[in-house]
Amino acid sequence: MSGSVPESWLVVHPYLRPIAELWTHVDRALAEIPVPAAAVPAFESYRDEFEEGVTLLSSIRAPPELAPVGPLLEALIPRLESRPLPGTVSGEVSALSAALRRDPELSGRLVAWLLGDDSVEPPSPGMVRFLGWTALARYLRPVVEAFGQWRDEDRWLRRYCPTCGSLPSMAQIAGLDPARHRLLSCGCCGSRWRFRRTQCPFCENDAHRLSGIKVEGEAGLRIDHCEACRGYLKTYEGMGQESLLLADWTSLHLDLLAHERGLKREATSLYDLGSLLGG
């Protein structure tokens, strides 16, 4: 997940420019500060929890060290403050930066909130979600990669992300028959994991199958949805363009289209950034 998308994509999808611009600032700010890399945990100690469906970030036996993420946010947010940010983002980032200066414990609590601690009430939740997960995903990248190599996908096949527990924001149909398969994609930490090819990952009872809506002018992308729960998955059918087509924000127009059809997004969005989307 990153901000670099080809100009040709933005020419066809001009409404994505403000978010592309925001991403550019975040990428540059991250390039200016030392971003620590998370140490890869001893996965073997976590194996039993994995078999029981415990996500890596909630593991008791081999939890990745998250303490450096708070200081990373404390470094990133003031850096962004000095940049010409689009829309109302600038005001929100300044307010967040001031709040972090006032309260040295805040950054740690924001990380806890991102991981599901509801007792925390963050200022600017949309912005905290975007910046927080961006920093967290960047820090966790080596762990997400190593975890992907370690895990036996056939032993997971669950509806939520094996790393962080989020519901999938997108899916990818990859491979060629007979090895064609579906991967679900996490919009928060960037993990991709295997799931049954046609079933709905949002229904409690997973007997429901998804049907697809083709999107005009969007080769490779479609909206798969479930008649039973009205949940949908933006789906990339193909391989090779993962970083563009699975980035979630590059297909926000598909979320809009799904919303207009009365479908609901079950996955958390990092791009609930109000005015930036013209909303």
**Residue numbers at the binding site for Zn ion (CB under 5 A):** 161, 163-164, 166, 186, 188-189, 191, 200, 202-203, 208, 226, 228-229, 231
Distance CA 196, CA 51 (A): 17
Name which of 203 and 244 has its Cβ closer to Zn ion: 203
Name which of 72 and 80 has its Cβ closer to Zn ion: 72
Name which of 202 and 236 has its Cβ closer to Zn ion: 202
Least distance between Zn ion and beta carbon 231 (Å): 5
Distance CA 81, CA 181 (A): 43
Least distance between Zn ion and beta carbon 43 (Å): 16
Least distance between Zn ion and beta carbon 3 (Å): 19
DSSP 9-21: HHHH-GGGHHHHH
Going from the C-alpha of 241 to that of each of 69, 174, 205, 247, the distances in angstroms are 29, 11, 32, 10
Nearest to 198 by CA among 178, 224, 169, 220: 224
What is the chain's length?
279
Q: Which residues contact 7 (CB under 8 A, 6 or more apart)?
A: none
Name which of 10 and 66 has its Cβ closer to Zn ion: 66
Least distance between Zn ion and beta carbon 155 (Å): 17
Q: Are 91 and 97 in contact (CB under 8 A)?
A: no
Name which of 186 and 270 has its Cβ closer to Zn ion: 186
Name which of 4 and 211 has its Cβ closer to Zn ion: 211
Q: Are 41 and 143 in contact (CB under 8 A)?
A: yes
Residue with tokens 């970083």: 243
Least distance between Zn ion and beta carbon 204 (Å): 9
Least distance between Zn ion and beta carbon 34 (Å): 24
